Amino acid sequence: MSEVSFFGKQLKLDKEEDAADVVKAIEEAVDMETLTLSGNTCGVEACKAIGAALSTKPTFKRAIWRDIFTGRLLDEIPPSLDHLGDGVIVSSAKLTELDLSDNAFGPNGIKGAVNLLSSPACFSLKILTLNNVGLGIGGAKLLATSLLNCHQAAAEAGDKFALEEFTSGRNRLENEGAKAMAEVFETLGTLVRVSMTQNGINHPGITALARALAKNPNMEVLDLNDNTFTAKGAAAVAEAFPMLNKLKKINFGDCLLRAEGAKVIATAVQDHLPNLEELDLSFNEVDGEAALAIGTALANKTIIKKVELNGNCIGETNIELLRQSLEAKGHMDVLGNLSDDEGDDDDEDDGGSGSEEEDEEQDDDKETKPSEEAPADGVKEDSVHEATAKSPQPSPGVSVDTYWNNPTIDNLWLLPAGERTNLVATKVLECKTPDMMEFGRHFVRIAACCKMKDDQAAKTAVLQVLETSFKAHMTSDFMSAFLQHVGLLKNEDKTFQPTTDIEGPIVAMMHLAKEKILSEEQIDMLKLFIFKEDSLIHQQQSLKQYVQENISAV
């Protein structure tokens, strides 16, 4: 597959002439299928030139355009996307993947992608990734309309729009946005993977999504982490399970299921989902009784590999009973780390103050009425789209330097919850001419907290830090430095000592590979060294197995 990649070059492409190298690379590429522009910043005139070059590439399939508008005015983004999309449309290319993540352009920005998403170029689209773009309700409705138009136009042309993977995390979709997307999912019926994490969706939106996803029988992965189910949402999702027999991975972590919701999910899991491999119900105020019900529900799940219940209220006695129950059914080592369990064997707490009905009413009262004047993280239309324009400051007495010099989970939690990633990213940006070996060292030290069985919430926080802070430096030189630090590539300095604690860094790098933050060249480089016969990985059977299972998904 022919790829043109300028990943992480940190180019500032303002005028047409600034994009000359990109244009030349596109024009000279034979049968180009992939264009990766991530980690650069592109203005209107530069995008116009790149779009013109794309207009001659009918073989083009994968547009990896995440994080390409840093420092741009929000009113620059729609015409920039229009130019890129027009080039694809004119070329008669058939896209299979479009990734616009980490471009917090808000509802107004998505307008620039409407023509492309509604065009024949997207009849063939399989993967649509829109993480952290600030869609809001207005943007979600506009996106939904575009996708429905694409479906209708494809049908009228005797074609079929069969989207398989949809990712839209951290976009403030809320209930109305979720309902808009639910209409798309129900209409298509072709979804295989859906991830809509951290969107402020409550049970009305969850119910709409559940009913729509039930119309997608090929669903394999469903990730709704960090929304708000309560028992009502859990019941709606449970009703969809009989129609989702191919479902393999479920992530309902941090969704306020509580004991009642968890029991409903447990019953549905027990009766359905024969192909379930992973179940995450962590940080849900689940009590010991509900946790044991989950353990019972997994008795007939012959291929279950991972169960995450950390951060609940299970208690030591019930944790031991749960372990024994799972082991008795042959499910050895599937239960994740429970170090953050808040249960007390002496407590008779039901997992929350007040009744479930009272909590449901409070959740309804908390539903927000979003302002369409604040399209992207509160950024106004005339402001600059730049994540680092105003560097966040840690709370008094807590310094990001403390974490940078000693990157433990405890120190990470001391940083303000909503600012951790940007604080570390700002620290990285302070290094004007980064020494890749030094950057590699920091990456490896931070990634040490990503071991396979580490606390899932902590692991997720660390991975977000790594993605945000280091993605612009994911070059071949960086990969070389990483491989040296984990002992997979020889360093000529005889005094150099690689780390012997390689599990976390390898797990983190596999995650970045699966998220397509690494280029194909970097992934190939990783594969080449990771399976060397004398690799430390071969001395750790569990890590070797983990890598083998996950590398196939890259």
CB 482 within 8 A of CB 467: no
> Side-chain half-sphere of 13: how many Cα atoms within 13 Å?
29
The pLDDT-based confidence of 454 (bands split at 50, 70, 90) is low
Nearest to 289 by CA among 345, 363, 238, 337: 345
For residue 298, pLDDT over 50 is answered with: yes
* Spatial distance between the Cα atoms of 180 and 144, rounded to a whole number of angstroms: 6
Number of residues in the chain = 554
CB atoms within 10 A of CB 395: 10
Express each pLDDT in 190-211 by its tens digit.
Answer: 999 999 999 999 999 999 999 9
Q: How far apart are CA 242 and CA 43, in angstroms?
A: 48
Position 354 confidence tier, pLDDT thresholds 50, 70, 90:
very low
The dihedral formed by the CA atoms of 223, 451, 410 and 319, expressed in degrees to the nearest 10: 70
Return the sign of the alpha-carbon dihedral for residues 491, 497, 502, 504. negative
Task: Report the alpha-carbon distance of residue 219 to residue 189 in Å, rounded.
Answer: 9
pLDDT in tens, 159-195: 999 999 999 998 999 999 999 999 999 999 999 999 9
**% of residues, the chain, pLDDT over 70:** 83
17, with CB counted inside 10 A (0-12, 13-18, 19+), is: exposed
d(CA 521, CA 187): 37
pLDDT at 275: 96
Place of tokens 């990633």: 421
From 77-91, 149-163, 268-282, 379-393, the region with the lowest mean pLDDT: 379-393
Q: Which helix (H) or strand (E) holds 240?
A: helix 230-240
- pLDDT (average), residues 496-514: 81
Residue-wise pLDDT for 128-155, tens only, equals 999 989 899 999 999 999 999 999 999 9
pTM for the model: 0.68
Backbone angles phi, psi at 335, to 5 degrees: -80, 125
Helices 456-470, 503-514: crossing angle, 10 deg rounding: 70
Q: Is the pLDDT of residue 365 over 60?
A: no
Cα–Cα distances (Å) from 550 to 218, 241, 509, in that order, read: 21, 26, 11
Q: Any idea which residue has 């299972």 for tokens?
A: 549
Every domain range in the chain assigned CATH 1.25.40.200: 399-551
Write the DSSP symbol of residue 140: H
d(CA 366, CA 225): 19
Cα separation, 212 vs 185, whole angstroms: 6
Average pLDDT, the chain: 84
Q: Is the pLDDT of residue 482 over 80?
A: yes
DSSP 379: B
Q: Which region among 112-116, 118-122, 215-219, 398-402 has the lowest average model confidence (pLDDT)?
A: 398-402
Domain 399-551 has what CATH class? mainly alpha
d(CA 476, CA 518): 10
What's the mean pLDDT in 71-83?
A: 92
Q: Is the pLDDT of residue 347 over 70?
A: no
Asked whether residue 388 carries a pLDDT value surpassing 70, the answer given is no
pLDDT band of 547, cuts 50, 70, 90: low
Residue scoring higher pLDDT (542 or 309): 309
The pLDDT, as a whole number, for residue 526 is 72
Tokens of 267: 């019953």
Please tell me what DSSP assigns to residue 335: B
Q: Determine contact, residues 251/224, Cβ cutoff 8 Å.
A: yes
* 90-94, 390-394, 439-443: the lowest-pLDDT one: 390-394
According to DSSP, the β-strands at 384-385 and 72-73 are: antiparallel
pLDDT band at 374 (very low <50, low <70, confident <90, very high): very low
- pLDDT at 16 > cutoff 90: yes
Nearest to residue 144, comparing CAs of 99, 183, 110? 183
**Alpha helix ranges (H) inside 57-199:** 77-91, 106-110, 114-117, 136-156, 174-188
361-383: average pLDDT? 40
Give 549's pLDDT tier (boundaries 50, 70, 90): low
Tell me what percent of the residues of the chain surpass a pLDDT of 90: 54
Lowest mean pLDDT among 381-395, 468-482, 518-532, 534-548: 381-395
CA–CA gap between residue 445 and residue 486 (Å, rounded) = 11
- Judged by DSSP in three states, 484 sits in helix
Q: pLDDT value at position 417?
A: 64
| More confident: 312 or 413 | 312
Please state the three-class secondary structure of 256-301 as a single string: CCHHHHHHHHHHHHHHCCCCCCEEECCCCCCEHHHHHHHHHHCCCC
For residue 90, what are its two tokens?
């004119």
Q: For residue 198, which of 227, 221, 165 has the smallest C-alpha distance? A: 227
Which pair of structure tokens corresponds to residue 309? 């219940």
